[in-house]
């Protein structure tokens, strides 16, 4: 077995699809398929079930994946240690992103990384916010932006910014919305993110505080820009970031339901066990410089 085969195994497991895995690995789809086949022959067992929708880990594959991730992490740590001895910051980090790039200052962060640490590679993965902590815990991500409550003690969380959300509806619904009480607004068609997302939890908590059953999902979408477009297009009610909502209201695209205003927090999170990783230390320096106005650090 070869390291590149183990990396292919881990990426295919992440993506669940040979073509997407090949794009991440910058090789052809047949090459990835051949690497997986060779690894299965080396292990003497099937790692994936090939289905019409993609690649699904077998029971054996799921068990071996944990060992493979630990092996790859050890190899990466060895490589980082060798480079650190030479005074270099070099290697790859997988970073979870969310919302729109401007909100998390992604361009500024990447610009600093390229200038300051040209050998540091940042691999970006768009995340549903509620899934980000688990991705950092299980090693699929090295760090991530995240909306919501402070995560558990196994993660370190840098508070960056408080963000408000408003309940918004299509402009044509103004008469229905302005006179609506909590039950009436909950009964309207809603556009919601998947249940794991922070956005979804905010909606449920909002209505629970009023002892009202939460809205039922009319359409599910996993990206704020998609939700914004659906609200503007007249599909349903949803939460929208306050800055976007106010601009859209001024343009006459939406109406805002006044009784509700929710607040959540933007964090940058990483695993506590990674605190001494030179790559993480370098990344945190970049984040701090990108967010000089970040919220005061809290003891978690």
Token pair belonging to 201: 């939890």
Residue 144 has a pLDDT of 96
pLDDT in tens, 138-169: 889 999 999 988 888 899 999 999 999 999 99
Residue 131 has a pLDDT of 87
The residues, any chain, with a CB within 8 Å of residue 33's CB and separated by 6 or more, are: 18
Residue whose entry in the numeric block shows the structure tokens 């790692």: 47
Residue 145 has a pLDDT of 96
CA distance 189 to 111: 41
Spatial contact of 210 and 260, defined as CB atoms under 8 Å apart: no
Tell me the CB-side half-sphere exposure of residue 282, using CA atoms within 13 A.
24
- Radius of gyration from C-alpha coordinates of the chain: 22
Q: Is the confidence at residue 89, as pLDDT, over 70?
A: yes
**Which CATH number is 1-77 given?**
1.10.10.10
Average pLDDT over residues 118-137: 89
Q: Is the confidence at residue 88, as pLDDT, over 70?
A: no
Residue 146 has a pLDDT of 94
Token pair belonging to 13: 């497991």
Of residues 297 and 266, more confidently modeled: 266
The residues, any chain, with a CB within 8 Å of residue 112's CB and separated by 6 or more, are: 286, 289, 290
Q: Is the confidence at residue 118, as pLDDT, over 80?
A: yes
- Domain segments of the chain as ranges: 1-77, 162-263
CA distance 147 to 119: 29
CA distance 126 to 147: 13
pLDDT in tens, 49-87: 998 888 999 999 999 999 999 898 888 878 767 766 555
b vs e for 169-193, b when ≥16 Cβ sit within 10 Å of the residue's Cβ?
bbbebeeebeebebeebbebbbbbb
**Which CATH number is 162-263 given?**
3.40.190.10
pLDDT in tens, 241-270: 999 999 999 999 999 999 999 999 999 999
pLDDT in tens, 7-33: 999 999 999 989 999 988 888 999 999
- Pick from 144, 166, 140, 167: nearest CA to 155: 144
């Amino acid at each position: 077995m070869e390291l590149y085969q183990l990396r292919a195994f881990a990426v295919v497991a992440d993506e669940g699809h040979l073509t997407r895995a090949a794009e991440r690995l910058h090789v052809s789809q047949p090459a990835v398929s051949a690497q997986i086949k060779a690894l299965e022959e080396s292990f003497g067992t099937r790692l994936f079930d090939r289905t019409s929708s993609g690649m699904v880990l077998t029971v054996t594959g799921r068990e071996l994946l944990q060992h493979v991730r630990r092996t790859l992490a050890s190899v990466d740590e060895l490589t980082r240690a060798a480079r650190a001895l030479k005074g270099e910051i070099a290697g790859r980090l997988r970073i979870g992103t969310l919302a729109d790039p401007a909100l998390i200052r992604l361009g500024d962060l990447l610009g600093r990384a390229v200038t300051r640490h040209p050998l540091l590679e940042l691999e970006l993965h768009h995340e549903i916010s509620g899934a980000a902590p688990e991705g950092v815990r299980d090693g699929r991500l090295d760090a991530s932006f995240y909306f919501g409550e402070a995560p558990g003690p196994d993660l370190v969380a840098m508070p960056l910014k408080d963000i408000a959300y408003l309940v918004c509806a299509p402009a044509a619904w103004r008469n229905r919305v302005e006179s609506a009480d909590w039950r009436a607004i909950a009964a309207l068609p809603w556009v919601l993110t998947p249940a794991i997302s922070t956005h979804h939890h905010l909606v449920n908590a909002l209505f629970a505080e009023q002892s009202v059953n939460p809205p039922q999902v009319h359409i599910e979408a996993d990206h704020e820009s998609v939700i914004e477009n659906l609200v503007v297009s007249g599909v349903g009610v949803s939460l929208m970031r306050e800055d976007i909502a106010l601009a859209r209201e001024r343009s006459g695209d939406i109406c805002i339901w006044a009784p509700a205003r929710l607040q959540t927090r933007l964090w940058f999170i990483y695993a506590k066990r990674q605190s001494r990783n030179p790559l993480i230390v370098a990344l945190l320096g970049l984040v701090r410089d990108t967010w000089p106005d970040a919220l005061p650090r809290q003891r978690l």
